[in-house]
């Protein structure tokens, strides 16, 4: 976004949708770009803040219509940083989504891993089928089994996560999942 301002009729200032952080490094903000959305698929993850940061992890989101423009500007700003150290960054996996205010946002992915919950059993009735993986994923069928007593804790993982405004997915119906207690452990039987 470009703004032209005339100050005292003599000086022309051009701002380019970025500023400088406390360190003097160029910064870019997702809020300076279109973040409006009606569904998750309209959002793309981007990196905002200090363009000269050694790590380039996604921490914000913009509308997909302006994502290429945003990324090009970010790379242009990074190019002004001089030599950058070659650092391996451990970025958390993140996902862009359309929040309840119809604005693109970014969040860390949250995974449910059944193996982290009690899977012990004495009978088949002690077991319940659950779905593993990212808590906001769509079109998923039960693929693991845990102890019934661990179900509430399993469901609580990611319970406060805003999954955004998803689309009505056209998912195939899940086949019936049969669980059993085998060798004192809850398992899903092959279909």
- Other C-beta atoms lying within 10 Å of the C-beta of residue 11: 8
Local confidence pLDDT in tens for the 191 residues of the chain = 333 333 333 222 233 344 444 457 899 999 999 999 999 999 999 999 999 988 889 999 999 999 999 999 999 999 999 888 778 889 999 999 999 999 999 999 999 899 999 999 999 999 999 999 998 887 788 999 999 999 999 989 888 888 888 766 667 888 889 999 999 999 999 76
Contacts of 173 (CB under 8 A, 6+ apart): none
Terminal C-alpha separation, the chain: 55
Can you tell me which residue has the tokens 């002690």?
126
3-class SS of residue 33: coil
Total-model pTM? 0.70
Concatenate the DSSP letters of all residues of 132-189 into one string.
Answer: -EETT--S----EEEEGGGHHHHHHTTTT----------PPPPPPP-EEEETTEEEEP
């Amino acid at each position: 976004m470009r703004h032209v301002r005339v100050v005292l009729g003599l000086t022309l200032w051009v701002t380019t949708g970025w500023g400088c952080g406390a360190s003097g490094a160029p910064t870019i903000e997702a809020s300076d770009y279109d973040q409006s959305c009606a569904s998750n698929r309209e959002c793309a993850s981007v990196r905002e803040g200090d363009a000269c940061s050694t790590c380039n992890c996604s921490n914000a989101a913009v509308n997909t219509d302006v994502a290429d423009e945003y990324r090009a500007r970010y790379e242009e700003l990074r190019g002004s940083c001089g030599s950058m150290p070659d650092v391996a960054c451990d970025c958390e996996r993140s996902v862009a989504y359309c929040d309840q205010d119809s604005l693109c946002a970014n969040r860390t992915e949250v995974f449910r891993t059944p193996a982290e919950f009690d899977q012990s059993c004495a009978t088949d009735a002690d077991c319940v089928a659950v779905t593993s993986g990212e808590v906001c994923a769509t079109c998923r069928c039960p693929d693991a089994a845990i102890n019934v007593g661990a179900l509430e804790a399993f469901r609580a993982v990611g319970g406060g996560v805003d999954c955004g405004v998803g689309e009505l997915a056209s998912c195939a119906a899940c086949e019936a999942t049969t669980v059993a207690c085998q060798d004192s452990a809850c398992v899903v039987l092959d279909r």
